Amino acid sequence: MSATDFQTLAGLFPDETVTHSYVQDIELPPVGGKSPGTFALITLDNGLDHSKPTTLGPNTLVELGKVLDGLKERAARGEIAGVGVTGKPYYLVAGADLSAVKTLKEREHGLWMARLGHAVYATLANLGVPSFAFINGVALGGGLEIALQSTYRTVSTGAGALALPEAFIGLVPGWGGVYILPRLIGPENAVKVMIENPLSNNRTLSGPQAFQLGIADAIFEPADFVEQSIGWAAKVIAGEIMPARANAVDPAEPAVAERWAGAVAAGRAFVEAKTSNASPAPAKVLDILEANRTITQAESADLECETLAGLMQTDEFRSTVYAFLDLVQKRSKRPAGAPDRKLARPVTKIGVVGAGLMASQLALLFARQLKVPVVMTDIDQARVDKGVAYVHAEVDKLLEKKRIKADAANRTKALVTGSVSKEAFADADFVIEAVFEELHIKKQVFAEVEAIVSPECILATNTSSLSVTAMAEDLAHPERLVGFHFFNPVAVMPLLEIVRAPKTDDAVLATAFELAKGLKKTAVLVKDAAAFVVNRILLRLMGEVIAAFDEGTPAEVADSALRPMGLPMSPFTLSAMVGLPVAQHVQESLHAAFGERFAVSQNLQKLIDNGVKSLWAPGPDGTPVIPAETLAVMSFGTSPSTGEGVLRRTQDALAEEIGLMLAEGVVAGPEDIDLCVIMGAGWPMFLGGITPYLDRVGASERVNGKRFLPAGIASAPA
The DSSP-derived string for 474-514 is T-S-GGGEEEEEE-SSTTT--EEEEEE-TT--HHHHHHHHH
List the single range of 211-220, 314-323, 613-622, 671-680 with lowest mean pLDDT.
613-622
Q: Report pLDDT for 622.
A: 81
CA distances from 1 to 16, 647, 682, 706 (A): 22, 45, 42, 42
List the single range of 27-36, 252-261, 344-353 with lowest mean pLDDT.
27-36
**373 three-state secondary structure:** coil
Beta strands per DSSP E along 608-653 = 617-618, 624-625
For the chain, what is the mean pLDDT? 95
- Give the residue, 182 or 50, on which the prediction is more confident: 182
Q: What's the rounded Cα separation, in Å, for the pair 91 and 598? A: 50
Question: pLDDT of 432-484, one tens digit each?
Answer: 999 999 999 999 999 999 999 999 999 999 999 899 999 999 999 999 999 99
Q: Report pLDDT for 99.
A: 80
* Contact indicator for 141, 170 with CB cutoff of 8 Å: no
> Quick check: 203 pLDDT over 90?
yes
What is the pLDDT confidence band of residue 3, given thresholds at 50, 70 and 90? Answer: low
How far, in whole angstroms, is CA 353 from its chain's centroid?
A: 31
317 by Cβ neighbours in 10 Å (0-12 / 13-18 / 19+) ranks as: buried
CA distances from 23 to 40, 71, 86, 147, 238 (A): 6, 9, 10, 17, 22
> Quick check: 1 pLDDT over 60?
no
* Contact indicator for 480, 451 with CB cutoff of 8 Å: no
The reported pTM is 0.91
What is the pLDDT confidence band of residue 422, given thresholds at 50, 70 and 90? Answer: very high
Mean pLDDT in residue range 693-718: 93
What is the pLDDT confidence band of residue 642, given thresholds at 50, 70 and 90? Answer: very high
Helix (H), strand (E), coil (C) string for 5-23: HHHHHHHCCCCCCCCEEEE
Q: What's the rounded Cα separation, in Å, for the pair 552 and 393? A: 47
Question: pLDDT of 474-511, one tens digit each?
Answer: 999 999 999 999 998 999 999 999 999 999 999 999 99
Question: pLDDT of 14-33, one tens digit each?
Answer: 889 999 999 999 999 999 88
DSSP character for 29? Answer: P
DSSP character for 139? Answer: E
